[in-house]
Amino acid sequence: MTAAWRQHPRLDGRFHVDHPDDLQVLVHDGGPRLTDRRPELVWVRVTACDGDVFTARVLNQPHQLKTVNDGAEVRFIAPIGGENLLQVREQYLRERADWTIGPCSKCGLDELFDAPSELIAKVFPKLPAGATMDAFSAFCGACGGVQMVQHKDVREDDGEGPDKQAEQQSPGKKWWQFWK
Q: Mean of the pLDDT values across residues 149-173? A: 61
Taken in order 39, 113, 103, 80, is the CA torsion positive or negative?
positive
What's the pTM value of the predicted model, to 2 decimals? Answer: 0.83
Name, of 159-163, 165-169, 171-175, the range with top average pLDDT. Answer: 171-175
Neighbour tally for 93: CB within 10 Å = 14
What is the rounded average pLDDT for all residues in the chain? 88
For residues 88 and 111, the answer to whether their CB atoms sit within 8 Å is yes
pLDDT given for residue 87 in this prediction: 98
Please state, in angstroms and rounded to a whole number, the distance separating the CA atoms of residues 72 and 60.
10
Strands 85-88 and 40-50: unpaired
